[in-house]
Structures are given as C-alpha cells and as structure tokens.
Amino acid sequence: MDRAELGALVDSVGEPAYRTRQLMDAVYRQRVESVEGISTLPQELRETLAEKGVSIGLPRIEQRFVSQDGTVRYLIAMTDGQSVETVWMPEGDGGEAGDGSEAGEQAERFAESGSFGASGAKALSAAEPTAALKRCATQKQRPSKKHNDRSMDPSQARGLNHKPQGQNQDRSTICISSQVGCAVDCQFCLTALLGVKRNLTAGEIVGQVCAVLKDQEVSPPEDRINLVFMGMGEPFLNYENFVKAARLLVEEVGIAERRMTVSTAGIVPRIHDFGGERVRPKLAISLNASNDELRTRLMPLNKKWNLEGLMAAARAYPLRTREWITFEYVLLGGVNDGPENAKEVAELLRGMRCKVNLIALNPGPGIEFTTPGAERVTEFQTILRAAGIPAFVRRPRGRDIYAACGQLKRTVEIATAPEP
Ligand code: SAH
C-alpha cells in the first residue's frame, strides 16, 4: 500500500491523518514484523486494520547461503508459500555505476567528464584493464563442491557484512526479484527453467528489500544502499507493481533513485512507457547478442521485439543529465563472444550515450553453454572501447552459492546439487 491508499483507509475509519505517517514509518523505516510491533497504535485501530484485511509484516527469510566473497543469497518466502531469491552484495557486483564498484565508479567519472559516446574512445582505450577484469582472469571458474556448507544458521549470516568500512562503504547492493520464476526463457539463464509462477506485488518487492536491510542491520539513507532489479523475473512484465515498488523504495524506504537500476530483457513497449515515469531507476537492457539471428536463438523474445525495435526504443529513451543506458552482454564461449560480434555490437550502439557491462557466463546445471576465457573477454572489451564504447567486465558475485547473474532458481536443492 502506498501513502495515498493507506491515507484513504485511515480516513475512512475516522482516524486522524498522523496515523498514516505512523504506520508508514513503522512498516518501511522501522520494518516491524507485525501490528503488535507498533506499540503506540491503539488497540481499536489494530482491530479495525485486521477487520479490513490489512496485515503488516515482512516476508520471511527461509534460508541464507553465504559465499566466500561475502555475497549472501536469501531464499525469501511470501505468505502463500511461494519464494523468491534476493541477493546481498557487500561490495556491489562490479556492474552498475552508483553501486560503488570500481566499474560503476569509472563509469560515473566518464559520465561526469562527458566522455561517453564517440569522444570517450581516447580516454578509454588509454585506460588500463580494470582491477575487476584482472580478477576475472584469475577467478575460480568452478563452484565449490560443498554448497551445502554455505547454508547457514540465520544467526551466523546476520550482520556479517554490517557497515563495510573504508572504500567499500558505498558499494553494498541488493539484487531483488520482481516475479516468482520468469517467462522470458533466455537459453543461458537458470531462472528460465522455472517458468513464471506469478507476479510479486509491490509490497512483496519492497518487502524483500526491508527484510534484507533488517537482516544486515543497515538503514538508508544513512547507509548508502544500491538496488538492482536484476533478480528473478522480468520487471517489465510486472510493470505496474515494479513502478509502484520503485516509488515506495524512493519515497518511503529512502533509497535514492539514482542508486537503483532496473534491467529488462527488452520489453519494447514498456521501455517507451518507462521513459515517462515520475520515479524512474536507471535503465539496463540485456542485449546478449549482436544480431537478430543470434539473439532470437538465445532470447526467443527477440522474435516479438527485435533489435531494430529495441534499439529504436533505446535511442528514443529520455536520458537525464549524467545518465546513460547500460547494455548487458552475457558472453557465451564460441557463441556470441567473437571479435565479429563485438564489432556488430559497436555498430548497434554507435553514437548512443551508453555503456556495456560484459558478463562471462555463470554456469549452472542444465545450461549448455560454456564460460569464455579471460583473453576472449578482454578482446571483446578492447574492441568496444576502441570504438568509443565504455565497456566493463562485471565481476561474478557469489557463484559458489549460485547467487550470480542467471543463477537464481529459488531452490534449496540447487545449492546442494552436484557440481555442474
Ligand atoms: N529479466 C531481466 C532481469 C534479470 S537481470 C533481464 O533479463 O534483464 C539478469 C542479468 O543476468 C541479465 O542481463 C541476463 O542477461 C544475465 N544472465 C542471465 N543468465 C546468466 C548467466 N547464466 N550468466 C551470466 N549472466 C546471465
């Protein structure tokens, strides 16, 4: 419920307007778990709320898996027994500007210096590979055998990453889900294997954030938290609830708009709509292929909304000052990661105010593709940069606990599954 809806309800039962503020604060700032937690609320109003079917609470954290890198994958249960996954990354995911990560900070600097687009070529081709990329070259490719060991007792994980110190202070990022499962069927993504079970309500979307904030003992705006709508589901196929949730997160929870990014697989009509929203997180588009043939193979939704329509929507998108569109590109060994693909991507994006986040495939059982080697990733990045397109490599977070991009599958089994 947003403030206006709750206000109308409070008014309709003859309660003074300040009760609305009291309730909103209790839910979104103090994150109480039940009406009983609001000690100043008169008994009578509690009963009225219950009669009206209004319940207050947080979704329940069913399980936590903690990665070697500090990432926590939460399995969060909704009241109907369905569950989704939400990921806490204490140091960001190396992807979104504003998430405080190296790649994010670099991108912000480029945006500030106005060097996005063609003029960015010089600045960027001279740049050293990012530290994130170097790490990518040395990262462990295979998840640990003992996934099971990472399923922790709640008390062990709580506050584990509480208020990171020093340079990491701004990096904490929460990755949230918008649907139970996903209908989009991208061939490299584990969530796709679930199909879509249902949409989350706006309250459930925000509830994930509140549950994680409470668990990690952090509170925006004092603690800078970044948010990415990049978990399970396609936010633009649950558009109304997503937009409502984004407003609640800004207005009630206190997370700044510029610290949020929504990623879409490319639901073209909604990209047009989104440009007109009053509250609007930054936009990321999952490109993942350099031509229609390849994209249709990897993302069947390309049949309906092809690259021409997608690029037209991206070009027409009304960017604010210091804003750019992010294109995500999952690199699949020998499939879409060649120099010719990089050149095609450069052509597609020519002249746009954008950046590219490259993600080397995160593997998973049932996924037939392979993760390209670090040299291949660097070559792809170098070609884009030479063409004037800022390109960054997203560091995988929590691969060992199946918390990385494309690995969310809502299951406990997956964390105990044999190594892929
Ligand atoms: N449905 C939205 C939100 C999910 S975001 C979207 O598609 O944009 C998840 C990001 O992870 C997307 O950019 C997606 O392309 C990427 N991804 C999916 N599966 C992946 C995998 N196995 N490895 C790496 N990235 C993956």
d(CA 72, CA 398): 7
Q: Which of 228, 328, 392 to mutate to test the pocket of ligand 1 (most atoms within 8 A of CB)?
A: 328
Q: What is the pTM of this model?
A: 0.84
Count of C-beta atoms within a 10 Å radius of residue 5: 11
> Could you list the mean pLDDT of each consecutive 10-residue stretch along the chain, which spans 420 residues?
90 91 90 85 87 87 92 93 93 56 57 50 34 32 33 46 46 94 94 92 95 94 94 97 97 94 98 97 98 98 98 97 96 98 98 96 91 96 97 89 80 44
d(CA 371, CA 383): 19
Q: Which of 405, 409, 414 to mutate to test the pocket of ligand 1 (most atoms within 8 A of CB)?
A: 405
Q: Which of 141, 287, 335, 359 to mutate to test the pocket of ligand 1 (most atoms within 8 A of CB)?
A: 359
The finding on whether 96 has its CB within 6 A of some atom of ligand 1 is no
pLDDT for the residue numbered 137: 31
pLDDT for the residue numbered 96: 55
pLDDT for the residue numbered 187: 95
Owner of token pair 């969060």: 76
Beta carbons of 396 and 92 less than 8 angstroms apart: no
Classify residue 144 by burial, with Cβ atoms within 10 Å: 0-12, 13-18, 19+: middle
Output the CA 139–ligand 1 centroid distance in Å: 20
Ligand 1 atom 24: the closest Cα is on which residue? 361
Q: Which atom of ligand 1 is nearest to the CA of 369?
A: 22
Angle among Cα 356, 319, 87 to the nearest 5 degrees reads: 50
pLDDT for the residue numbered 108: 62
pLDDT for the residue numbered 317: 98
The finding on whether 358 has its CB within 6 A of some atom of ligand 1 is no
pLDDT for the residue numbered 364: 86
pLDDT for the residue numbered 138: 32
Q: Which atom of ligand 1 is nearest to the CA of 362?
A: 23
